[in-house]
Structure 1
Amino acid sequence: MSITTPLSNDTTDRGVPLLAHAAMRFLVPIWIGSGFFVLFEPAPYELLFFAVFALAIVGGMKMHWRTNNLLIAILCFIPPAYIAVTQIKYGTLMEALIFTTVTLFLMLTGYFIANYVSENPWRRMRTINKAYLFAALLSAILGTTAYLGILPGGDIFLRFGRAKAMFNDPNVYGPFLMLPTAYVFQRILLGKPKDMLVNSIFFLILFVGIFVSFSRGAWGHLVVTAGLVFLFNFLLEATAREKLRMIVLAILGTIGLFIALLGLLSIPEVQELFVQRFALVQSYDGGETGRFGRQAWGYALALQTPLGTGPSQFSSMRITEEPHNTYLKVFLDYGWFGGMAFVWMVLMTLNRGIRCMAIASPNRLLLIPALATFIPLSIEAAIIDVDHWRHYFLVMGVIWGVTSGYDKVGPPRAERYLP
Structure 2
Amino acid sequence: MSVQSSFASENIKVSGGELAHRLMMLLVPIWIAGGALVMFEPSPYELVFLAVFACALMGGLPISRRTNNFLMAILLFIPPAFVAILQMKYSTLSKGMIFTTVTVFLLITGYFIANFVAEKPYERMRLINKAYLFAAVFAASIGALAYLGLMPGKDLFLRYGRAKAFFKDPNVFGPFLILPAAYLVQRILLGNPRKMFMNAIWFGIIAVGVFVSFSRGAWGHLFLTVILVFILNFKLEATPRERIRMIGLALSGVIALVLAILGLLMIPEVAELFKQRASLIQSYDGGETGRFGRQAWGYALALNNPLGIGPWQFDQMLVTEQPHNTYLKVFLDYGWLGGGAFVWLILMTLWRAIASLAIASPNRLLMIPAFATFLPLIMEAAIIDIDHWRHLFLVMGIIWGVSAGYDVIDGKKDERRLP
Q: TM-score range by the shorter chain?
A: over 0.9
Matched, 1:88 2:98: no
- Give the counterpart letter for 2:47 in structure 1: L
CA distance in 1, matches of 2:312, 2:381: 17
Q: 2:87 is aligned with what amino acid?
A: Q
2:78 is matched with 78
Shift of 1:91: 1.1
Partner of 2:57: 57
- Identify the residue that residue 321 of structure 1 maps to in structure 2: 321
Residue in structure 1 matched with residue 351 of structure 2 by the alignment: 351
Alignment of 1:204-243 (within 5 A): 204-243=204-243
Q: Does 1:170 align with 2:170?
A: yes
Q: What corresponds to 2:278 in structure 1?
A: 278
The one-letter code sitting in structure 1 at the alignment partner of 2:296 is A
Structure 1 residue 241, shift from structure 2 partner: 0.3
1:23 is displaced (CA, Å) by 1.0
Whichever residue aligns with residue 271 of structure 1, its letter is A
Q: Is the 8 A contact 2:363 2:402 kept in 1?
A: yes
Q: Give CA-to-partner distance per residue, 1:373-404, whole Å, 9 cap, x none.
A: 00000000010001100000000000000000
1:369 aligns with 2:357: no
Q: In structure 2, what is the Cα distance between the partners aligned to 1:336 and 1:68?
A: 22
> What residue identity is the alignment partner of 1:346?
I
Higher relative contact order (CA 8 A, sep 6+): 1
Tell me the amino acid that sits aligned with residue 228 of structure 2: L
Instruction: Please state whether the residue corresponding to 1:17 is helix, strand or coil.
Output: helix
| Pair 1:131 & 2:131 matched | yes
The change in CA–CA distance for 1:16 and 1:405 in structure 2 (over 3 A counts) is farther
Does the CA-based 8 Å contact 2:361-2:413 persist in structure 1?
no
Query: Counterpart of 2:310 in structure 1: which amino acid?
Result: G
- Match for residue 9 of structure 2? none
Classify the secondary structure of the residue corresponding to 2:360.
Answer: coil
Q: Give the CA deviation at 1:416.
A: 2.6
| Identity across matched positions, percent | 66
2:340 aligns to what?
A: 340
Query: How far, CA to CA, are the matches of 2:343 and 2:415 in structure 1?
Result: 40
1:140 aligns with 2:175: no
TM-score (norm 1): 0.96
The answer on whether the counterparts of 1:184 and 1:203 sit within 8 Å (CA) in structure 2 is: yes
Give aligned pairs, total.
Answer: 406
- Structure 1 residues 114, 15: CA separation in 2 closer, same or farther (over 3 Å shift)? farther
d(CA) in 2 for partners of 1:334, 1:412: 46
- Give the aligned partner of residue 161 of structure 1: 161
Map of 1:11 onto structure 2: none
Report the Cα distance in structure 2 between the residues aligned to 1:245 and 1:415, rounded to whole angstroms: 20
Query: Is the contact made by 1:122 and 1:409 (CA closer than 8 Å) also made in structure 2?
Result: no
Gapped regions of structure 1 (runs ≥ 5): 1-13
For the 8 Å contact 1:325–1:381, the answer to whether it is kept is: yes
Per-residue deviation at 1:19? Answer: 1.4
Read off the aligned partner of 1:207 and give its amino acid letter: A
Q: 1:104 Cα deviation (Å)?
A: 0.6
Is structure 2 residue 113 aligned with structure 1 residue 107? no
- Alignment partner of 1:166: what SS? coil
What amino acid is aligned across from residue 123 of structure 1 in structure 2?
E
Q: Could you tell me which amino acid in structure 2 is paired with residue 45 of structure 1? A: Y
Contact 1:327/1:381 (<8 A) preserved: yes
Aligned mates of 1:174, 1:116 — CA distance in 2: 26
Post-superposition offset of 1:15: 8.2
Deviations 1:212-262 (A, max 9, x none): 000000000001100000000000000000000000000001001110010
Structure 2 residue aligned with 1:246? 246
- Structure 1 residues 136-192: Cα deviation after superposition (integer angstroms, max 9, x where no partner): 000000000000000111110000000000000000000000000000000000001
Distance 1:244 1:120, change over 3 A: same
Alignment correspondent of 1:406: 406
Report the equivalent of 2:259: 259
Alpha-carbon distance in 2 for matches of 1:17, 1:318: 54
Aligned AA for 2:145? T
C-alpha separation between the residues in 2 aligned to 1:414 and 1:265?
Answer: 46
Contact 2:362–2:411 (CA under 8 A) maintained in structure 1: no
What amino acid does structure 1 have at the position aligned with 2:69?
N
Aligned residue number for residue 198 of structure 1: 198
Residues 84-136 of structure 1: CA deviation (Å, up to 9, x unaligned)? 00000011000000000000100010000000000000111011000000000
Indicate conservation of the 8 Å contact 1:121/1:409, yes or no.
Answer: no
Q: Is the 8 A contact 2:144 2:163 kept in 1?
A: yes
**Bigger mean CA deviation after superposition, 128-137 or 19-28:** 19-28
Q: Aligned equivalents of 1:132 and 1:412: distance in 2? A: 26
**Mapping 1:24-39, distance limit 5 Å:** 24-39=24-39
Secondary structure of the structure 2 residue equivalent to 1:235: helix
CA distance in 1, matches of 2:296, 2:185: 38
In 1, the alpha carbon distance for the partners of 2:198 and 2:357 equals 28
**Amino acid corresponding to residue 188 of structure 1 in structure 2:** I
Contact 1:374 1:395 in 2 (8 A): yes
| Secondary structure of 2:28 counterpart | helix
> Could you say which residue in structure 2 is the equivalent of 1:304?
304
The secondary structure found in structure 1 opposite 2:39 is coil
Where does residue 6 of structure 1 map in the other structure? none
> Separation in 1 of the partners of 2:337 and 2:47?
30
Distance 1:70 1:120 in 2: 19
Cα distance between partner residues in 2 of 1:334 and 1:111: 20
Give the conservation status (yes or no) of the 8 Å contact 2:284–2:291. yes
- Post-superposition offset of 1:286: 0.2
| Contact 1:225/1:373, CA 8 A, preserved across alignment | yes
Q: CA RMSD in A?
A: 1.1
Amino acid at match of 1:164: K
How many angstroms does 1:18 deviate by?
A: 2.3
Following TM superposition, by how much is the alpha carbon of 1:16 offset from its aligned partner in structure 2, in angstroms?
6.9
